[in-house]
Amino acid sequence: MRADVASLRWTPLGLQSTRWFGWISLFSLMIMFAFAWMRNDDYGMKIVIVAILCNSTIIYLVPEDAPEHRASSRLSLFISCSVLLMLSCPIFLFHRDSTFTGITLIDLWTSLPVLLVSILSFLSGIKSWRWFVGKHTQSEAIEGLSRSRKHGPRVLQISKQIVLLHLGLFAILPPLWTLMLSLTPGNSLGGDFKISSITFEHYEKIMGMDRFWVWLRNSIIVSVGTTIFGLSIAFPAAYGFSRYRFHGRKLGLFVFLIVQMFPGALILVPYFIVMKGFGLLNSFIGLMLAYSVTALPLCVWLMKGFFDTIPIELEEAARVDGCSQLQVFIHIIFPLSLPAVAITCLFSFLAAWNEFLLALTFLSDTDKYTMPVGIASMVSETQPYWGDFAAASILVSLPVVLLFITFQRYLVDGMVAGSVKG
Amino acid sequence: MRSRTAAISAVSLLALLLLNQASASPPPIVDEVQIDGEVGLNNRVRYSFSTVEGATEYEIYYSNSYFNNVSSIAPPETSVSGFPDAWLTVSDNQGEDPSLEETLKFMRCWWSPWPQEEELSTIPSSSNWSEPTFSSGMPIIPKQASSVACDLPGIKRGQEVYIGVVSIGADEISNTEGLVVVSAITIAESEVPPKPDMMPVYIALGTIVGGLCLVIAVLYFLSPNRRDRQGYFLVLPSIILLATLTFYPVGYGIYLSFTDESASNYGQGEFVGLDNYELLFSEDRDFDGDGDPGFWRAFTFTLVWTFGCVSMHMLLGVLFALLLESRVIGKVAWRTILLIPWAVPGYISVIMWRGMLNRFGWVNGILTTDIDYLGWDSWAKFSVIFVNIWMGFSFMTMTVSGALQGIPKDMYEAASIDGVSTFKRFRHLTLPQLMPALVPLSLLGMIWTFNLFHVIFLMTGGGPDRYYGEPGVTDILVTFVYDVAFIDGEYGLAAAWSVIIFLMLIAFSTTYLTVTKGGEVDS
């Protein structure tokens, strides 16, 4: 009886893993197709289409559970497809006899999973022949089942790691490229990076550039000013909304919520005109005002949410003991809310640190630029100082990235509460 | 009040008509060139010239300084020294290769079998003129063409530009002796507008602050609870700040959209009613003569951009969050790596990608392709969306995986005992429980993406093809408003665009607030 169940539920591991890798290779085939198309490589495109068809057939043919329709015709289709698939990759790689420019890394990378899946399906096709046509013995099934149980999670793990590896590469390649660029001599954009020619000339140049430090100073002034000013307004407001039940409280909270949806671009033109009128255009005060009011709703909501979690009994007890409202605030509320204040500070600091649009519009004087506008001005058509840009951006983003990694959980939660990132 | 279209100098230099000394008779010099700097907005000029006998090709040179032979050209910012900036081929074989046409969008030109017209500004709508066909990216004009008009876009305000046309004969011989060069200065802001009267603004702000204080005071004395009314004092500063720096500008912007305020007309805008709104859709804003003033083009791409980005964000986010939440080795490391696109400051990521997608950049090198990712229409659209997907997917992964952790695990155990397949488990267990988090998240994502300025601004600046006073190929509404306001200096019109954007956003926001039940105001 047990053996019966085993033979019913057993699927050869090779087939299962073929299924997993099949999806991966289908994806990489799509990418191969895109590349062939981008190169105007008609022949390559045709081959990839054949490969995609074979791959889809394989995925379709590999059953997830015990197969209901076990037919040898299906098996032969399966095997011929895997052979075709196996062939199509080398053809894709080597067919370009006339215009052969060498196999690039990308070619190998895209065809590797396809080769893998075709070989895998071919091998497993031979091995699970008997299973496929339904002639396996019960002892085989039991053995196979235990094998699947042992190695199945491992195969799954490997395929997951492969997907994650690609994803990780996708995520990290541009920053890596920038790092590479900052260490390459000259200002070229290509990938002519050699370990032997690593240079720190760009870093030295940036460090020795007065304007870089001026921009850094400006950014720090604006961000710190925004944080302090914004917090000093938002803190009492959040406390008031959390602790006092006055008329119009709900309306006020709703207004704070709505304001977050206002687009920066909508306020931009009137902001610009009003600031121009007040002579605040090339000044940090205008920028700080604008930034703190943009961050205000989020700060209020974040801290209000935190105050709501502090039990009101704590304050009442203190007041019974004879504390004044101010003393309650200083001795109870403030120490307790320090973590929330820290996170809110981080938010408004980062928002001001990364903001681009308002700074671009308000600041026209190079000495008044904040870091974002400054760095963006480093690469233009006329002055493509890519190496310097790369060095500067590594220097600027490293602390920010570390902050993000450290406080990721809070930042994610806060971002959902309102829009921050510049 | 100064007319916008003033301050043009069109100087035509006399040709030094030297005797033709070349042996294999080059075609005569193109000496009837005229220029019209007034066309359209401030950032392009239009020129025209009469064709000459025996020319098979015309090379057109642009420069920032005067030149009288081709080798002494100081190129404008976008071109390579000594090379012509545009070509025209003369042929009766009318090539037609629209796929390549977009590579030379900057060469917008027209030909006519009649002599040159005086009024260059009417060319696109004039029936005498027809557009050339294209072959291998080159515009082809037929032999019977007797005059040609072209646009040179991408000129900065107040920049002087020189244009020279060289005719090339059958054996690629040409005569550049006595090249006729014309120049124009694009419209410059020559006078500083008077300091505007800020009194109305002071009054408005004072009224707002005073009114708010009054309302709060009334509420304060009316409120029955002695303790709770202290709350007004705590809330008042933030309300005042919000009113003066958010609601007042919004209101002022709406008012601006009914005036003709502009950079040259600063502080003196007059009430013009709904003119700006009509202008958005009117023929007057159709500068490139394709019968479309650009609003719908920008609007369509905004929708494509918003939905394309957000749907990919959600798809990738859910996929990778599921991967990260399942049993994987090195979860923390992967999570940290996936965080990076979100953590790198946005403007840096965008410039980074701009470098990588440069025609001579890394992406083309690695893929062994030769594609101008930011210069060709469809590729530029694809690139900006792709870059934004890169920038946004990690945030979605983080939020979705946060939401996934809140799903109770016992149902999965039951499902695995019943032998439910992976996909079915996702479809019937995970997805329904994830939906309450996904729907508001995607709406929020749409609001953000709709408003996202710096990606497109720093990648393509809205281009290619953005110098016509109309939205470029990759311009979304928000980036185009910036151009209208700060490049063209038309504040009133920009405000009208903003109001329309605002109305669209209200639709998004209302949906968002309904879905999230008013943001759980009193949770």
Residue A278, min C-alpha distance to chain B (Å): 8
Asked whether residue B274 is assigned to any structural domain, the reply reads no
Catalogue the long-range contacts made by B414-419 (C-beta closer than 8 Å, 24 or more residues apart): B419/A65
Q: Which residues pair with B48 in a beta bridge?
A: B34, B149
Task: Give the per-residue pLDDT at B522.
Answer: 41
Structural domain of B207: 199-256
CA distance A313 to B206: 41
Is A264 or B129 the better-scoring residue by pLDDT? B129
Do B204 and B338 lie in a common domain? no
Task: Give the per-residue pLDDT at B307.
Answer: 92
Can you give the C-alpha Rg of chain B in angstroms?
Answer: 30
Question: B203-227 burial string, b = 16+ CB within 10 Å, else e?
Answer: ebbeebeeebeeebeeebeebeeee
Q: Which of A164, A292, A356 sits opposite B454 (nearest CB)?
A: A356
Residue A86 structure tokens: 């196996």
Q: Which of A253, A269, A415 sits opposite B256 (nearest CB)?
A: A269
Asked whether the beta carbons of residue B351 and residue A293 sit closer than 8 angstroms, the reply is: no
What ipTM is given for this predicted complex?
A: 0.84
Asked whether the beta carbons of residue B521 and residue A400 sit closer than 8 angstroms, the reply is: no
Instruction: Please provide the distance, in angstroms rounded to a whole number, between the alpha carbons at the two ends of chain A.
Output: 65
Asked whether the beta carbons of residue A236 and residue B512 sit closer than 8 angstroms, the reply is: no
Residues 435-454 of B with CB under 8 A from A: 441, 444, 447-448, 450-451, 453-454
Note whether B178 and B164 are within 8 A (CB). no
Asked whether the beta carbons of residue A257 and residue B450 sit closer than 8 angstroms, the reply is: no
Do B246 and B303 lie in a common domain? no
CB neighbours of A389 closer than 8 A, spacing ≥ 6?
Answer: A375, A378, A379, B351, B355
Task: Give the per-residue pLDDT at B458.
Answer: 86
Asked whether residue B29 is assigned to any structural domain, the reply reads yes
Question: Distances from the Cα of B419 to the Cαs of A28, B295, B326, B416, B422, in angstroms?
Answer: 30, 54, 18, 5, 9
Q: Which residue of A has its CA nearest to B494?
A: A269
Task: Give the per-residue pLDDT at B15.
Answer: 32
Is B264 or B303 the better-scoring residue by pLDDT? B303
Please compute, for residue B227, the number of CA atoms within 13 A of its CA located in the half-sphere on the CB side. 7
Residue B107 structure tokens: 């060469």
Asked whether the beta carbons of residue A246 and residue B502 sit closer than 8 angstroms, the reply is: no
Omega within 30 of 0 (cis) for the link into B464: yes
CA distance A81 to A114: 12
- pLDDT above 70 coverage of chain B, percent: 71
**B135 has pLDDT over 90:** no
Asked whether residue B263 is assigned to any structural domain, the reply reads no
Asked whether the beta carbons of residue B346 and residue A236 sit closer than 8 angstroms, the reply is: no
Q: Which of B261, B345, B448 sits opposite A419 (nearest CB)?
A: B448
Q: Which residue of A has its CA nearest to B459?
A: A376
Contact with chain A for residue B299, Cβ under 8 A: no
Task: Give the per-residue pLDDT at B467.
Answer: 61
Asked whether the beta carbons of residue A172 and residue B448 sit closer than 8 angstroms, the reply is: no
Q: Name the DSSP class of B373.
A: T
Asked whether the beta carbons of residue A39 and residue B346 sit closer than 8 angstroms, the reply is: no
Do B455 and B493 lie in a common domain? yes
H or E, element range at B151: strand B147-153
Asked whether the beta carbons of residue B365 and residue A325 sit closer than 8 angstroms, the reply is: no
Residue A74, min C-alpha distance to chain B (Å): 23
Do B301 and B392 lie in a common domain? yes
Do B215 and B180 lie in a common domain? no
Residue A379 structure tokens: 């690469």
**What is the CATH number for B484?**
1.10.3720.10
Q: How far is CA A149 from the centre of its chain?
A: 34
Note whether A160 and B329 are within 8 A (CB). no
Asked whether the beta carbons of residue B444 and residue A419 sit closer than 8 angstroms, the reply is: yes
Q: What is the mean pLDDT of residues B368-389?
A: 85
Asked whether residue B403 is assigned to any structural domain, the reply reads yes
CA distance A210 to A369: 13
Contact with chain B for residue A199, Cβ under 8 A: no
Residue A311, min C-alpha distance to chain B (Å): 15
CA distance B53 to B29: 10
Domain C-terminal end among B160, B185, B210 = B185
Q: Which residues pair with B147 in a beta bridge?
A: B50, B112
Residues of B whose CB is below 8 A from A241: 231, 235
Asked whether the beta carbons of residue B329 and residue A161 sit closer than 8 angstroms, the reply is: yes
Do B123 and B86 lie in a common domain? yes
Number of Cβ pairs closer than 8 Å across A and B?
A: 310
Residue B436, min C-alpha distance to chain A (Å): 14
Q: Which of A254, A273, A409 sits opposite B491 (nearest CB)?
A: A273
Residues of B whose CB is below 8 A from A184: none
Q: Which residue of A has its CA nearest to B356?
A: A189
Do B449 and B490 lie in a common domain? yes
Task: Give the per-residue pLDDT at A221.
Answer: 93
Note whether B462 and B475 are within 8 A (CB). yes
Note whether B150 and B45 are within 8 A (CB). no
Domain C-terminal end among B126, B158, B185 = B185
Residue B284, min C-alpha distance to chain A (Å): 22
Other residues' Cβ atoms within 10 Å of the Cβ of residue B462: 26
Residues of A whose CB is below 8 A from B523: 308
Residues 279-298 of A with CB under 8 A from B: 289-290, 292-293, 296-297
Contact with chain B for residue A351, Cβ under 8 A: no
Do B21 and B158 lie in a common domain? yes
Note whether A357 and B454 are within 8 A (CB). yes
Residues of B whose CB is below 8 A from A172: 337, 340
Query: What tens digit of pLDDT does each residue of B75-126 get?
Result: 544 433 344 566 677 777 665 554 444 444 456 778 888 787 777 766 666 6
Checking DSSP bridges between strand B33-36 and strand B160-168, what pairing results, if any? unpaired
Q: Which of A157, A264, A386 sits opposite B328 (nearest CB)?
A: A157
At B357, the pLDDT band (50, 70, 90 cuts) reads: confident
Do B173 and B219 lie in a common domain? no
Question: B295-330 burial string, b = 16+ CB within 10 Å, else e?
Answer: bebbbebbeebbebbbebbbebbbbbbbbbbeebee
Catalogue the long-range contacts made by A196-202 (C-beta closer than 8 Å, 24 or more residues apart): A201/A387, A202/A387, A202/A388, A202/A390, A202/A391
Give the closest residue to B454 by CA, choosing from B358, B350, B381, B352: B350
Note whether B276 and B497 are within 8 A (CB). no
**What is the CATH number for B103?**
2.60.40
CA distance B12 to A115: 67
- pLDDT above 90 coverage of chain B, percent: 5
Q: What are phi and psi of B406, to 5 degrees?
A: -85, -5
Asked whether the beta carbons of residue A269 and residue B495 sit closer than 8 angstroms, the reply is: yes
Q: Is B47 helix (H, G, I), strand (E, B) or coil?
A: strand
Asked whether the beta carbons of residue A168 and residue B361 sit closer than 8 angstroms, the reply is: no
All domains of chain A, ordered by start, with CATH? 2-183 (no CATH), 203-417 (1.10.3720.10)
Do B249 and B211 lie in a common domain? yes
Residue A54, min C-alpha distance to chain B (Å): 22
Note whether A371 and A352 are within 8 A (CB). no
Residues 388-417 of A with CB under 8 A from B: 389-390, 393, 396-397, 400-401, 403-405, 408-409, 412-413, 415-416
Least trusted range by pLDDT, from B41-45, B283-287, B314-318: B41-45
Is B12 or A80 the better-scoring residue by pLDDT? A80
Residues of B whose CB is below 8 A from A243: 231
Asked whether the beta carbons of residue A170 and residue B498 sit closer than 8 angstroms, the reply is: no
Do B167 and B210 lie in a common domain? no
The pTM for the full model equals 0.79
Asked whether residue B125 is assigned to any structural domain, the reply reads yes
Asked whether residue B281 is assigned to any structural domain, the reply reads no
Contact with chain B for residue A149, Cβ under 8 A: no
Asked whether the beta carbons of residue B482 and residue A268 sit closer than 8 angstroms, the reply is: yes
Residues of A whose CB is below 8 A from B360: 189-190
Contact with chain B for residue A326, Cβ under 8 A: no
Asked whether the beta carbons of residue A241 and residue B231 sit closer than 8 angstroms, the reply is: yes
Kindly tell me the sign of the dihedral angle through the C-alpha atoms of B288, B294, B298, B304.
negative
At B196, the pLDDT band (50, 70, 90 cuts) reads: low
Q: Which of A168, A254, A267 sits opposite B334 (nearest CB)?
A: A168
Residue A150, min C-alpha distance to chain B (Å): 16
Q: Which of A153, A262, A376 sits opposite B347 (nearest CB)?
A: A376
Kindly give the parts of chain A with pLDDT less than 70. 1-9, 62-76, 90, 92-105, 121-122, 124-130, 132-135, 190-193, 263, 265, 380-383, 413-422
Domain C-terminal end among B135, B156, B185 = B185
Number of folded domains that form chain B: 3
Q: Which of A164, A167, A405 sits opposite B339 (nearest CB)?
A: A405
Question: B37-66 burial string, b = 16+ CB within 10 Å, else e?
Answer: bbbbbbbbbbbbbbbbeebbbbbbbbbbee
Note whether B55 and B166 are within 8 A (CB). no
Contact with chain B for residue A164, Cβ under 8 A: yes
**Mean model confidence pLDDT for chain B:** 75
Asked whether residue B54 is assigned to any structural domain, the reply reads yes
Is B432 or B383 the better-scoring residue by pLDDT? B383
Residue B117 structure tokens: 């017209």
Residue B185 structure tokens: 């200065």
Query: What tens digit of pLDDT does each residue of B229-249 get?
Result: 777 888 888 888 888 888 888
CA distance B468 to B104: 14
Residue A128 structure tokens: 């699970």
Residues 231-270 of B with CB under 8 A from A: 231-235, 237-239, 241-242, 245-246, 248-250, 252-253, 256, 261, 266-267
Residues of A whose CB is below 8 A from B486: 272, 361
Asked whether residue B162 is assigned to any structural domain, the reply reads yes
CA distance B185 to B179: 20
CA distance B482 to A419: 21
Query: What tens digit of pLDDT does each residue of B446-495 get?
Result: 888 888 888 888 888 777 766 666 778 888 888 888 888 887 778 888 88
Q: What is the mean pLDDT of residues B407-431?
A: 77
Do B181 and B215 lie in a common domain? no
**B11 has pLDDT over 50:** no
At B313, the pLDDT band (50, 70, 90 cuts) reads: very high
Instruction: Please provide the distance, in angstroms rounded to a whole number, between the alpha carbons at the two ends of chain B.
Output: 56
